Amino acid sequence: MKFQLEQSDEFLTAHSGLILPGLLMAQTDLNAELNKTKIPNNPSPHISNADVVVSYLGLLCQGKSDFDHIEAFREDIFFKEALMLDAVPSSPTLRQRLDAGALLDWNKIVMEAGLAVLKAQKPTVTPSLRKLVPLDLDVSPFDNSNTNKEGVSYTYKGFNGYAPIFAYLGEEGYCVGVELREGKTHSQHNTPAFLRSSLNNARMVTSSIILVRMDSGFDSIDNIKVCLKGEAEFIIKRNIRKESPEEWLALAKKNGEYYLERPGKEVYTGHTYIDRGLEKPLRVVFKVILRTIDAKSQILLIPDIEVQTFWTSLPDKPEVIIQQYQGLGTMEQFHSEFKTDMDLERFPSGKFATNELVLTLGVVSYNMLRFIGQQSLLVKDTPLRKQAQRRRVRTVIQNLITIAAKLVYHARRYKLRFGRHSPWLNALKRIYIAIDSA
């Protein structure tokens, strides 16, 4: 069957779910704070700073990061109304204004607004152990190879790019801290200050005790001091550096608990204390594996010794500490959502400061999409019946942001009319009402 293609006079939209982030941002002081700032050589712009930033947030909430994508929405009445804009900027205006705003205080303003959204909505932040809410920190290199962007350099992953650091809160993975770094930057560079800031941000979202989890790239006494001073628990994997595996094996055989995982693989777990010049020695949990036969039943000529050790302030059994540390791996899912679902791995600008602002805006969009996704799980009113702990950002964009509807203007009010079969409509209505009444 062949179809006839016609254009009507009706206003239709394929992204009616933008009413959700639009309503969330309207409940903050973002617009007022941005419009207070004055752009050099353009103190009274035709399109306000707030309209520029919120327009770009609207793009990011659809998984679009390129500045040129804004051109498709300049004549879109719904886009303007959903995000409560006076005007939609052109691509050059968007680029130039973000360049200018990156040199002002926009990063701080945007991040504070994003945290204000979470604080106002009071999302559920799930603990990982008892009432301890995890705060996971890690670096995730962004591949920007074959570009001449400012700050791009060789990363430990073996490609040219950036090495931003992130801080994720709770099992849901709300991002409460981000810092864009050059690719060659060491993980520990400026991390104590970043950790301190992330702890403060986390406490704006939850009143629970924080459990900081970091890998061996952050094995530094400075990070431990921040946790102790900030009254946060911690599990930080140690870098054994020049320590002898044989000595750890001897200690494990003497003080640890032993079990045979399989023939030729002995596992020892336990704990000890090491003095690092603080008020009292720090607890160290260890797991030592002795292999005399490999997984393919090949007898090893020289036994293999694998040592894992962790700084921790928790009193729990070594098995619990190790299991809690393994939860750090969930961050890779969150990183991939930034890189692929939101299309943020290859930044749109050649300027480092602008890309840092873009990443901060990405964090705000990511948190809004994460919150919307978690709200969709509260009631079984969606077509997805598979139980999940969290909705992936891509799923939120596809099912709750890109919903087709007809825009109707009647009695001085805009209405959205959805199709007879719109399986996500009930969830969209419920979440919209919940946000509006918060």
Q: What is the pLDDT along the chain (438 residues), one digit of tens a residue?
A: 889 888 888 888 999 999 999 999 999 999 999 999 999 887 778 999 999 999 999 999 999 999 999 999 999 999 999 999 999 999 999 999 999 999 998 999 999 999 999 999 999 999 998 899 999 999 999 999 999 999 999 999 999 999 999 999 999 999 999 999 999 999 999 999 999 999 999 999 999 999 999 999 999 999 999 999 989 999 999 999 889 999 999 999 998 898 898 999 999 999 999 998 898 999 999 999 999 998 888 998 999 999 999 999 999 999 999 999 999 999 999 999 999 999 999 999 999 999 999 999 999 999 999 999 999 998 888 887 777 888 999 999 999 999 999 999 888 888 999 988 889 999 999 999 999 987
36 and 93, same domain (yes or no): yes
177 occurs within a structural domain: no
305 and 367 fall within a common domain: no
Position 430 scores a pLDDT of 95
Structural element, H or E, at residue 435:
helix 425-436
Q: Are residues 373 and 302 both part of a single domain?
A: no
Residues 107 and 15 grouped into a single domain: yes
| Of the residues 309, 332, 362, the one at which a domain ends | 309
How many CA atoms does the CB half-sphere of 281 hold within 13 Å?
8
Query: CB burial class (10 A; 0-12, 13-18, 19+) of residue 172?
Result: buried
| Cα–Cα distance, 210 to 134 (Å, whole number) | 6
Q: Is residue 278 part of a domain?
A: yes
Contact of 20 with 375, CB cutoff 8 Å = no
Q: What's the pLDDT at 1?
A: 83
Tell me the DSSP string of 261-293: EETTEEEEEEEEEE--SSSSPEEEEEEEEEEEE
- Verify that 281 and 357 share a domain, yes or no: no
CB 75 within 8 A of CB 326: no
- State whether residue 164 is helix, strand or coil: coil
Residue with tokens 């997984």: 295
In this structure, the answer to whether residues 374 and 290 fall within a common structural domain is: no
Q: 27 and 93: one domain?
A: yes
Query: Is 269 within a domain?
Result: yes
Q: What end-to-end distance do the CA atoms of the chain give, in Å?
A: 50
List CB contacts of 387: < 8 A, sequence separation 6 or more: none
The domain boundary, picked from 286, 309, 332, lies at 309
Same domain, 359 and 297: no
**Residue 357 within any structural domain of the chain:** yes
Range of the domain at 378: 11-117+351-436
Residues 43-49: contacts with CB within 8 Å, 24+ apart?
45/97, 46/87, 47/86, 47/87, 47/88, 47/89, 47/93, 47/97, 48/86, 48/87, 49/97, 49/101, 49/106
Residue 27 placed within a domain: yes
Pair 305, 358 in one domain = no
Which of 258, 290, 309 is the endpoint of a domain? 309
- pLDDT score of 233: 96
Residues 431 and 355 both lie in one domain: yes
* 363 in any annotated domain: yes
Is residue 117 within 8 Å of residue 23, measured between CB atoms?
no
Claim to verify: residue 34 and residue 97 sit in the same structural domain: yes
* H or E element, residue 106: helix 106-121
Residue 346 is assigned to a structural domain of this protein = no
pLDDT at 409: 87
Per the domain annotation, does 158 fall within a domain?
no
- Let me know whether 18 and 97 are in one domain: yes
Total number of domains in the chain: 2
CA distances from 15 to 58, 84, 194, 398 (A): 10, 15, 36, 9
pLDDT of residue 242: 86
